[in-house]
């Protein structure tokens, strides 16, 4: 078997709009943010693969709810952020750490903002990014525990990855995010094309993820805070000049919260 070719990332739909990401290589698998153990166990049985690793980005229940059950049922090793309480965690990680899962090297990136200890997992050779609730298609996570400044830095770290990096986020929020993005940048042609493409996918029952870093840089307002059109929209919303991109981000995030 050619394990380099026999490699896939597959979504497992859970709850109302979550994606749990199953990475399959040969007869083994890893899962990212398994909020629902039963959904993962069903897929493992269907495909006849063994779960050997669990990667967790942050502590919210829809991301960790199935971790303990899966670890107990399969013996999978659990990786999670050092700064958060993760069930059954075997390896506590922080930015700059590197792990090997299924023979794939993952770099750990600190991305606080949504939660204080949130991390992302980047497989550079495969051009994969598992970013939890930090970066969404055309959007970003709410600031439940962190600050706008922290999230701005976190998103900049992700935006600096190669354009062809595939973004495996954890929720199907794309169409709602695109509606907001068009309120910010109504003259952005790339946004309108993306909205049409994603609407067609959802009409066909297909996920809109993964996207790519290139897609996000072109259409995600939270990665475009230095763009003049985005800044002008944020300033109109705020009713005042905004001194820097972090202030633009903060206004956009508050606007999106009530959009």
Please give the Cα distance from 51 to 187 (Å, whole number). 46
Please give the Cα distance from 62 to 132 (Å, whole number). 11
Give backbone dihedrals phi and psi of 190, rounded to 5 degrees, phi first.
Answer: -65, -35
What residues are annotated to the active site? 58, 60, 62-63, 114, 133, 171
Please give the Cα distance from 217 to 119 (Å, whole number). 20
Q: What is the pLDDT of residue 1?
A: 37
> Which residues neighbour 225 within 8 Å (Cβ) at sequence distance 6 or greater?
152, 231, 234, 245, 246, 248, 249, 252
Give backbone dihedrals phi and psi of 78, rounded to 5 degrees, phi first.
Answer: -105, 125
Residues of the chain whose pLDDT is less than 50? 1-4
Q: What is the pLDDT of residue 5?
A: 53
Give backbone dihedrals phi and psi of 42, rounded to 5 degrees, phi first.
Answer: -60, -45
Please give the Cα distance from 97 to 64 (Å, whole number). 21
Q: What is the pLDDT of residue 6?
A: 82
């Amino acid at each position: 078997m050619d394990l380099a070719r026999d490699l896939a990332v597959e979504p497992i739909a859970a709850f109302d709009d979550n994606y749990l990401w199953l990475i399959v290589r040969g007869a083994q698998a890893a899962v990212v943010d398994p909020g629902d153990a039963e959904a993962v166990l069903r897929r493992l049985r269907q495909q006849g693969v063994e779960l050997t690793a669990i990667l967790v980005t942050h502590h919210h229940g829809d991301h960790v709810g199935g971790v303990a059950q899966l670890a107990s049922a399969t013996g999978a090793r659990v990786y999670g952020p050092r700064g958060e309480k993760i069930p059954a965690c075997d390896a506590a990680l922080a930015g700059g750490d590197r792990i090997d899962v299924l023979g794939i090297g993952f770099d750990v990136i600190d991305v606080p903002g949504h939660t204080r200890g949130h991390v992302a997992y980047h497989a550079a050779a495969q051009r994969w990014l598992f970013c939890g609730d930090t970066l969404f298609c055309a959007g970003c996570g709410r600031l439940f525990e962190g600050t706008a400044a922290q999230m701005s830095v976190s998103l900049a770290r992700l935006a600096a990855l190669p354009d062809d990096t595939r973004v495996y986020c954890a929720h199907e929020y794309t169409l709602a995010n695109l509606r907001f993005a068009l309120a910010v940048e109504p003259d952005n042609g790339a946004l309108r094309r993306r909205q049409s493409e994603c609407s067609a996918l959802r009409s066909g029952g297909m996920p809109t993820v993964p996207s790519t870093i290139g897609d996000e840089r072109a259409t995600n307002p939270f990665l475009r805070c230095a763009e003049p059109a985005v800044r002008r929209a944020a300033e109109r919303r705020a009713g005042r000049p905004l001194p820097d991109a972090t202030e633009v981000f903060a206004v956009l995030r508050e606007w999106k919260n009530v959009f």
